[in-house]
Structure 1
Amino acid sequence: MATLTVWRFPTPTGADDALDTLMKLQRQELIKVQDGAVISWPEGARKPRTRHLGDMTGMGALGGAFWGFLLGMIFFVPLLGAAVGAAGGALGGHLAHLGIDDDFIKGVRKKVTPGTSALFVLSSDAVLDRVRSEFEGRHAELIETNLTGEEEARLREAFAEGE
């Protein structure tokens, strides 16, 4: 079963700094990183910068389509306003079917704001106490949603990229 986690940091560079720690934990086999994205939102910027980690994760990655869809729903759809409100609702319903509910989207949107950053990670097989201890002292806030095996399969099917 995969877990989608979002680590929020109180600085625009915190997620990039934490990425090194995450990759170290993966090399120690304390977590299996399947895919991820880094969000950096400098103070004064209208929108965040996003970066997909597919090149670091390899096999099992969902690909840019998933991250573009998810990050678009969180950060960019609210900027477009009522013109896409109905479409946004339909897309949000699709994400809920995939195990990512509206409360998760709203929670991330509310907490990842200008002057902050976030590390989005799709992972499995984490040794949670060791992973959490590595993030202590970074002032990271963990937002988490678990996906059932069925939801993970639907997510992979919906966002499968050509091989």
Structure 2
Amino acid sequence: MSELIVIGYDDHAVATKAFRAVQKLRADHVVELNGLAVVRVDEDGDTHVDTPARQEEIAVSATAGALWGMVFGILILTPGIGVLGAALGGLIGKLMQMGVDSGFRKKVSDLLVPGSAAVVIMASKITEDRFAAALEPFGGTVLKTSLSDESERELAEQLAGPTPGTSG
């Protein structure tokens, strides 16, 4: 099961410090990451995404990387479903079945107002008490949802498309 955690901050500098603290927690084996980013919304409303500088910072499988990219994109970068293609609509539907519903996405969107920032974390394993204690000094508004292993597998299969040689 993965935890999807979004921590909103009024200040990009504080979000960056919290982001670095999460990287240290990963190094200390307090959290196993499938994805990590800082999202900043500038005063003009433009969204900027910072991820770990080096790929080896977070060792993820291709499936986990695709899953993280899709979850992140739908949460942060997709304002509405309106003009999206059927495949992306199906993935959004799958995420909604997994508990990443429009209510959660709206809460994330409400956190990301001009001048704000958020740390977005997808963790496959987390030591909750140590994680919370380490991030407590930074404050912030915490939003959290879980993705079951079965839901992750289903989403990964949908991301991968049909297996060659099978009908479906």
- TM-score tier by shorter-chain length is 0.7 to 0.9
Contact 2:38–2:49 (8 Å) recurs in 1 = yes
Q: Which amino acid aligns with 1:38?
A: V
The question of whether the paired residues in 2 share the 8 Å contact of 1:35 and 1:60 is answered with no
State the TM-score, normalizing by the size of structure 1.
0.78
Name the count of aligned residue pairs. Answer: 156
Distance in 2 (alpha carbons) for counterparts of 1:6 and 1:14: 14
* SS at 1:120 equivalent: strand
Segments of structure 2 that go 5 or more residues without pairing to the other structure are 161-168
Residue equivalent to 1:51: 50
Q: What is aligned with 1:73?
A: 74
User: SS in structure 2 opposite 1:125?
Assistant: strand
- What RMSD in Å do the two structures reach over aligned CA positions? 2.8
Taking the aligned partners of 2:129 and 2:123, their CA distance within structure 1 comes to 15
> 1:5-154 residue pairs with structure 2 within 5 A?
5-42=5-42, 44-53=43-52, 55=55, 56-60=57-61, 62-63=64-65, 65-67=66-68, 69-78=70-79, 84=83, 92-154=92-154
Alignment identity in percent?
Answer: 27
- 1:94 deviates by 3.3
CA distance in 2, matches of 1:117, 1:149: 29
| Aligned equivalents of 1:2, 1:154: Cα separation in 2 | 14
How far is 1:158 from its partner? Answer: 3.6
Contact 2:34 2:123 in 1 (8 A): yes
Q: Deviations over 1:84-107 (max 9, x none)?
A: 289786653232134422211111
Q: Work out whether residues 2 and 147 of structure 1, in 8 Å CA contact, stay in contact via their aligned partners in 2.
A: yes
Structure with higher Rg: it is 2
Partner amino acid, structure 2, of 1:110: D
Matches of 1:60 and 1:95, distance apart in 2: 19
Q: Deviations over 1:11-69 (max 9, x none)?
A: 12332211211111112111111222220112x22221013448221133633x54554
For normalisation by structure 2, the TM-score amounts to 0.76
What letter corresponds to residue 51 of structure 1 in structure 2? D
Name structure 1 gaps, 5 residues minimum: none
In the aligned structure 2, how far is the partner of 1:24 from the partner of 1:119? 14
Cα shift at 1:4: 1.0
